Structure 1
Amino acid sequence: MPHMEGRSHLVQLIQAARNTSPRATGVLLAACLLLSLLWAVVYRLLFHPLARYPGPFLHRISIIPCIWYAYKGSRHVVLAKLHEEYGDIVRYGPNFLSFNNPKAIRGLSPKYVDSVCPSTCTKCVLYLDIYGASSGFVKAKYYSHGPPGHKFTANIVTAVSKAEHGRKRRLMSGAMSDSALRKFEPFVQEKIDLFLKQLMDPKSFNGTVKNLSEWFNFLSYDIMGHLAFGKGFNMLTSDEHHYVQPLIEQFQHRGSVIGTAPWLERFGLARILLGNMMRKQQLFREYATVQAAERIARENRGDGIDDIFRLLMQAKDKETGETMPMEEVAGEAAVLITAGSDTSSTALSGLVHYLAANPACFSKLKTEVKAKFGSLEEIQSGKPLASCVYLKACVDEALRLCPPVPGLLPRENHQGGYVTGVFVPPGIEVGVPIWAIHRKPELFPDPHTFRPERWIENSQEQIDLARSGMMPFSVGTRGCVGKSLAMMELHLITAKLAFIANIEPTGPLGDDYGLKDFFGASRDGPFLKITADV
């Protein structure tokens, strides 16, 4: 019988394998592995859905280059160079396309191939942008990784589901509303004034020459610590919590590497290959958990304050009337302190670097601020500050050259669709490289030059074109929920620093302010001498 004959052949194969010598078995396994790898290479080069898109050979066949650049923090620079070489669309990984084109960012309403197709149809191919409010793309698997058995709790940054993210954003929007910011501003002002005093004090941390990236971190963490957890970390006056900043950096760095290759954690390789990074991110998680627990305890005792934590606890979803569970509030507060501090401190560090390297720009900024305000105390949010055109241009130029997230924010579409006229198959990850598009010559002539005047003197058409490629806070419904707070800090700090201080380089400053892409931007310096402008 055929069935019995098949079983007989199977038994014979098993017996033959048992009788094979270990050496022969090893050779056979090696040959199978080699053939599998060879087939994977051939498939990814010739038959893969992305086979026709340009990119370096190693990037097209393997994820390893992506992992390496994520580890080194150079992904943003590599992507910019690849786009210079290959054009607006680059196959950066076997299953990843990078689009260096403002049309890929936002502003397109979904368009169906068949003009008579109803918008409820899920089968027709769409023409899409990647990040716009109507985009069909969702956050990629990059954001939801973890070891086997790990219970993944999403926050507003990592939530993949649009429904879940929408609920979180509705609940958090009240904590970041204009009325909330007006309530928070006096404390922000108090911390900025203390920051300036310490910065000009030769007896404070670092002595006469200050590492401005550290000091902006101290200021940002003190502000966000108070706003998120109801207490400051006092980093401006005490070094007790200074160890936290490197932990936060490693927390983000680990997420960047593991997000690029989730299987590193799935198969237990992360603790072997990234042991120190994994330990530090765990220390930060524990630190954030303690801070949240202490804040919850204060609220239960009745001595909490009107901070973001309380606003989140009291917030009700406008659609469902539901509130946010306490453990979810704690998780969101930890995200706020991480993202909120990095956002403003990165741009400020870069801005001061470029102002120190371009004294004429700093002089022009000083002149404008002193013409608007008669004293430091007068500098507050409002029409006079909003009318400082050159100050706003300096901030915009700093955000262009030093975006808080210099790499790209990966998205995927489970349906597939056309982006900038090319088809993206279902499941393929896509993104716009922020560092690269912020330095795209077609959008920004002299792209590597700090020139605030580009936002003032250029024609409105040129400015609009430039703004179409700007995404320092991302865009659409996934854009940074704390953008208004970050912009308030950026304008207040820049204005007050220009009003009261002089900045003096202690050595040659490079033409560019270097950042590392650990998802959030890692940086060091500039090292400057800050003195009172008397």
Structure 2
Amino acid sequence: MPSSFPSFLPQPLLPSLLQLRLPLTMLGYDSEESFLWPALATLLVTIVVGTGIQKLVYNLYFHPLSKYPGPKLAACSNVPFSFWFLGGRQPYKLLELHGKYGHVVRVAPNELSFNSAQSFRDIYGFRPGHKTFIKSEFYDGGSFASRGVHSIVSERDPVAHGQMRRLLAHAFSNSSLKEQEELVAKSVDRFIKLVKAKTDGGQIFDIAKGFERMAFDIIGDLGFGQTFDALDTDEDHPWIGTMLGALTKGALADSFKRFPAVARLLGVVLRRQIALLVEDTRRNEDMAIELVSKRIAQSSNRKDFMTRILEHRKQDRVQVSDLQIAAHASDMVLAGSETTSTALSCATYHLLTSRSVMAKLQSEVRGAFSSYEAISDASTSELPYLQAVCQEAMRVYAPLPLGLPRVVPEGGDVVDGCFLPQGIIVSTNPVAASLDPANFGDPFAFKPERWLDTALVPGVDQLDASQPFILGARGCLGKSLAWTEMRTTLAKLVWAFDLELADVELDWHGQSRMYTLWSKPPLKVRAKLAQP
């Protein structure tokens, strides 16, 4: 262990020990001028080391999870888990561990990782007669937490979460989505115009950044009644940078929670950086509050999320404040933009590195539409290969790559055949599940055909081991919106352009890092107008 490794001793204890002076005459000594530091140090080290050894032995041999396989160091300490998370390659490390140990792996003293289709159902799905696996402390301290407000993402109480979900469900219903399609198409078309402008002179541009800004504008239009004009500039909107930066800090925040003593020390050492992060987060919250207040004041019947939310609040007399609506809207910006743009980026990368897949998609899309204007959500939903491409993109590169941690409820419960006592932290990692050879044949190959009924080989591909939108009552509300964005954007892009990967050496998966969500490498491409 490096000498610079921070002490786990609670920091407030150190000054008090240094200042301690005992009346040694009471102990038979002639003077109070000195203190038996060697004796005290020996006692202190003995207590600390003894306690540590006792905990280590308990975790290894007597803990309820001691029978489950996994790295021995991970069974003893949270250090390996935090190291994997902070290193940005945690999903692939978990994939490696599941390949070595099987469907269940002990990844921390009180935590298990699963990677089977059954574990998705057991942890996140609804099971009659079973209690809900609530969210873990990982979700505490998110945006708006300092204002005493929980959002649809951070709320851990199942009853309160259910009330929030009912409030927001109207905004994401299929009927609402049909009304919102025009707003979605407006930003998609602006993105297509941006790509068209890049065809002059064979310009190289980062299409992943374009997807990100398009999705950001769409969710701004639907959530706040106005786009962020992200597509109109080469600079990131301040909210995008701060939002993604905060996600990167999510790995650090998780480590802080696992090591409170270290957190107190780093809270002092990194107080300036932490203050800047808090300031940026507060600025985004203020922006969300301002935009929501402005949208509510408009009293508009515009077919967006806010209209539906406000209608439901009024008609059903739901007690929800403007501040809480702002918290929900802030979550929508993140959940509704970054994940969708990630799926589009991955799909584009694999289309450009697999000529046969691209040729099949071009044939389907260009054969289905005689004009650009004919491409819509309804018409693209009739294209099976397009949908299969989207499904496969979300399988090989899960838009939400983090295993969402849940707590085994009171009385214990069974996960994938394993009975677990209450209080154990469990999760199913999407990457470890969708790339495991036990779940998919040739898992690293991009094969959209596996999602087509005519090509499915029973027993080889367990399609329900890929769950990009998660299951159950806490599944993604914006699933239908995400499908609309993915299908219409890819269809219009493939219909209008022939794309070429500018960086043929790009290793998309190898250069990606995960800090709650993916930190993606640039996806540099050239585009030219498709020839009739």
- Class of the TM-score when normalised by the shorter of the 2 chains: 0.7 to 0.9
1:24 is aligned, of 39, 42, 50, to: 39
Describe the shift of the 1:228–1:268 C-alpha distance in structure 2 as closer, same or farther (beyond 3 A).
Answer: farther
SS in 2 for 1:315: helix
How do residues 14-413 of structure 1 correspond to structure 2 at under 5 angstroms?
15=27, 20-106=35-121, 129-134=122-127, 136=131, 137-145=133-141, 152-202=148-198, 208-239=203-234, 241-262=236-257, 267-269=263-265, 271=267, 272=269, 276=273, 279-280=276-277, 282-300=279-297, 302=299, 305-316=302-313, 321-382=317-378, 384-413=379-408
How many Å apart are 1:278 and its aligned residue?
6.4
Describe the shift of the 1:467–1:262 C-alpha distance in structure 2 as closer, same or farther (beyond 3 A).
Answer: same
Residues 195 and 236 of structure 1 are in contact (CA less than 8 Å); yes or no, is this contact kept in structure 2? yes
Describe the shift of the 1:487–1:156 C-alpha distance in structure 2 as closer, same or farther (beyond 3 A).
Answer: same
Point out where structure 2 has 5 or more consecutive residues left out of the alignment. 1-22
Residues 391 and 491 of structure 1 are in contact (CA less than 8 Å); yes or no, is this contact kept in structure 2? yes
Describe the shift of the 1:298–1:160 C-alpha distance in structure 2 as closer, same or farther (beyond 3 A).
Answer: closer
d(CA) in 2 for partners of 1:529 and 1:300? Answer: 44
Letter in 1 for 2:488: L
SS in 2 for 1:481: coil
Residues 104 and 114 of structure 2 are in contact (CA less than 8 Å); yes or no, is this contact kept in structure 1? yes
Residues 402 and 516 of structure 2 are in contact (CA less than 8 Å); yes or no, is this contact kept in structure 1? yes
Larger deviation, residues 347-356 vs 136-145: 136-145
How many Å apart are 1:146 and its aligned residue?
7.4
d(CA) in 2 for partners of 1:47 and 1:294? Answer: 54
Larger deviation, residues 16-25 vs 96-105: 16-25
2:429 is aligned, of 430, 433, 442, to: 433
SS in 2 for 1:182: helix
Describe the shift of the 1:196–1:276 C-alpha distance in structure 2 as closer, same or farther (beyond 3 A).
Answer: farther
d(CA) in 2 for partners of 1:372 and 1:37? Answer: 67
SS in 1 for 2:251: helix
Letter in 1 for 2:530: D
Point out where structure 1 has 5 or more consecutive residues left out of the alignment. 1-10, 107-128
SS in 2 for 1:130: helix
Larger deviation, residues 257-266 vs 42-51: 257-266
Residues 288 and 327 of structure 2 are in contact (CA less than 8 Å); yes or no, is this contact kept in structure 1? no
How many Å apart are 1:443 and its aligned residue?
2.1
Q: Deviations over 1:305-361 (max 9, x none)?
A: 44312322221499x742422111000000000110012101001000000101221
d(CA) in 2 for partners of 1:299 and 1:275? Answer: 36
How many Å apart are 1:256 and its aligned residue?
3.5
Larger deviation, residues 302-311 vs 366-375: 302-311
Q: Deviations over 1:125-175 (max 9, x none)?
A: xxxx1111235311111112479x956522111111110111011110000
Q: Is 2:476 aligned against 1:477?
A: no
Letter in 2 for 1:262: K
SS in 1 for 2:463: helix
SS in 2 for 1:502: strand
SS in 1 for 2:419: strand
Letter in 1 for 2:398: P
d(CA) in 2 for partners of 1:199 and 1:179? Answer: 31
Q: Is 2:450 aligned against 1:454?
A: yes
Residues 406 and 425 of structure 2 are in contact (CA less than 8 Å); yes or no, is this contact kept in structure 1? yes
Aligned to 1:122: none
d(CA) in 2 for partners of 1:405 and 1:274? Answer: 30
Describe the shift of the 1:13–1:298 C-alpha distance in structure 2 as closer, same or farther (beyond 3 A).
Answer: farther
Describe the shift of the 1:265–1:77 C-alpha distance in structure 2 as closer, same or farther (beyond 3 A).
Answer: same
Larger deviation, residues 12-21 vs 278-287: 12-21
Aligned to 2:16: none
d(CA) in 2 for partners of 1:301 and 1:482? Answer: 25
How many Å apart are 1:197 and its aligned residue?
1.4
Describe the shift of the 1:234–1:505 C-alpha distance in structure 2 as closer, same or farther (beyond 3 A).
Answer: same
d(CA) in 2 for partners of 1:325 and 1:70? Answer: 35
Residues 82 and 90 of structure 1 are in contact (CA less than 8 Å); yes or no, is this contact kept in structure 2? yes
Q: Is 2:414 aligned against 1:418?
A: yes
Residues 175 and 308 of structure 1 are in contact (CA less than 8 Å); yes or no, is this contact kept in structure 2? yes
Q: CA RMSD in A?
A: 2.8
Describe the shift of the 1:485–1:366 C-alpha distance in structure 2 as closer, same or farther (beyond 3 A).
Answer: same
SS in 1 for 2:197: coil
Residues 357 and 509 of structure 1 are in contact (CA less than 8 Å); yes or no, is this contact kept in structure 2? no
SS in 2 for 1:54: coil
How many Å apart are 1:477 and its aligned residue?
0.8
Describe the shift of the 1:302–1:309 C-alpha distance in structure 2 as closer, same or farther (beyond 3 A).
Answer: closer
Aligned to 1:488: 484
Letter in 2 for 1:453: E
Aligned to 2:17: none
Describe the shift of the 1:255–1:299 C-alpha distance in structure 2 as closer, same or farther (beyond 3 A).
Answer: same
Describe the shift of the 1:25–1:476 C-alpha distance in structure 2 as closer, same or farther (beyond 3 A).
Answer: same
Residues 134 and 157 of structure 2 are in contact (CA less than 8 Å); yes or no, is this contact kept in structure 1? yes
How many Å apart are 1:424 and its aligned residue?
1.1
Describe the shift of the 1:293–1:507 C-alpha distance in structure 2 as closer, same or farther (beyond 3 A).
Answer: closer
How many Å apart are 1:251 and its aligned residue?
1.5
Residues 449 and 456 of structure 2 are in contact (CA less than 8 Å); yes or no, is this contact kept in structure 1? no
TM-score under structure 1 length normalisation: 0.86
Q: Deviations over 1:439-475 (max 9, x none)?
A: 1212211100111111124337358x52221111111
Aligned to 1:125: none
Describe the shift of the 1:36–1:380 C-alpha distance in structure 2 as closer, same or farther (beyond 3 A).
Answer: same
How many Å apart are 1:239 and its aligned residue?
4.0
How many Å apart are 1:511 and its aligned residue?
6.0
SS in 1 for 2:373: helix
Aligned to 1:6: none
Residues 249 and 518 of structure 1 are in contact (CA less than 8 Å); yes or no, is this contact kept in structure 2? no
Describe the shift of the 1:268–1:306 C-alpha distance in structure 2 as closer, same or farther (beyond 3 A).
Answer: farther
Percent of aligned pairs with the same amino acid: 29
2:528 is aligned, of 510, 517, 531, to: 531
How many Å apart are 1:404 and its aligned residue?
1.4
Larger deviation, residues 426-435 vs 16-25: 16-25
Q: Deviations over 1:474-515 (max 9, x none)?
A: 111110111110111011111111100111112324565343
d(CA) in 2 for partners of 1:13 and 1:76? Answer: 61
Letter in 1 for 2:189: D
Letter in 1 for 2:123: I
d(CA) in 2 for partners of 1:327 and 1:300? Answer: 14
TM-score under structure 2 length normalisation: 0.86
d(CA) in 1 for partners of 2:141 and 2:239? Answer: 23
SS in 1 for 2:228: coil
SS in 2 for 1:517: strand
